[in-house]
A and B are shown apart, each in its own frame.
Chain A
Amino acid sequence: MIDLAALTIKSAREALKKGEFTSVDLTKACIEAIKEKDGDIHAFLEVFDDALGQAEEADKKIKAGVDLPLLGIPFALKDNITVAGHRASASSKILEGFVSPTSSTAVSKLFEAGAVILGRTNCDEFAMGASTENSAFGPTMNPRDLSRVPGGSSGGSAAAVAGDMVLVSLGSDTGGSIRQPAAFCGVVGFKPTYGRVSRSGLIAMASSLDQIGPFTKTVEDAETVYDVLRGKDPMDSTTIDDSTHAAGKEFNKTIGVPRAFFAGEGVSQAVKDNLDEAIQKFISLGYTVKDIELPNIAYALSVYYILVPAEVSSNTGRFDGVKFGLHADGKDGIEDYFKTRGAGFGKEVRRRIILGTYVLSSGYYDAYYGSALKVKDLITAELREAFKEVDLILTPTTPTPAFKFGEKSSPLDMYLADIFTVPANITGAPSLSVPNGSVSIEGKDLPLGILMTADLGREDNLFRAGKDFSGE
Chain B
Amino acid sequence: MNREEVLKLSTLVRIEISDSEAENLAKEFDSILGYVGEVKKAHAKAGSDKEKPALRNVMREDTNPHESGIYTEAILKEAPAREGDYIKVKKILG
Contact = CB atoms under 8 A, between A and B. Distances in A.
Interface of A: 98-99, 101-102, 208, 234, 237-238, 296, 299, 301-303, 305-306, 313, 320-327, 332-334, 336-339, 341-343, 345, 347, 350-351, 353-355, 357-358, 361, 367-368, 370-378, 380, 410-412, 415
A301 B35 CA distance: 9
A223 B9 CA distance: 44
A102 B36 CA distance: 38
A375 B43 contact: yes
Contacts of B40: 367, 371
Contacts, number: 152
A412 B15 CA distance: 22
Nearest to B92: A333
Interface SS of chain B: loop
A299 B42 contact: yes
B31 interface: yes
Contacts of B5: 358
B46 A355 contact: no
B36 A302 contact: yes
Interface string B73-93: 011011111000001011110
A354 B9 CA distance: 6
Interface residues of B, number: 52
Contacts of A380: 54
Contact of A375 (B33, B42, B74, B80): B42
B32 A355 contact: yes
A368 B39 contact: yes
A322 B46 contact: no
Contacts of A338: 14-16
11 contacts: A306-B36, A322-B89, A326-B80, A334-B14, A337-B14, A338-B16, A342-B17, A343-B16, A350-B21, A351-B25, A410-B28
B38 interface: yes
B13 A357 contact: yes
A380 B43 CA distance: 13
A228 B37 CA distance: 40
Contacts of A357: 9, 12-13
A341 B16 CA distance: 7
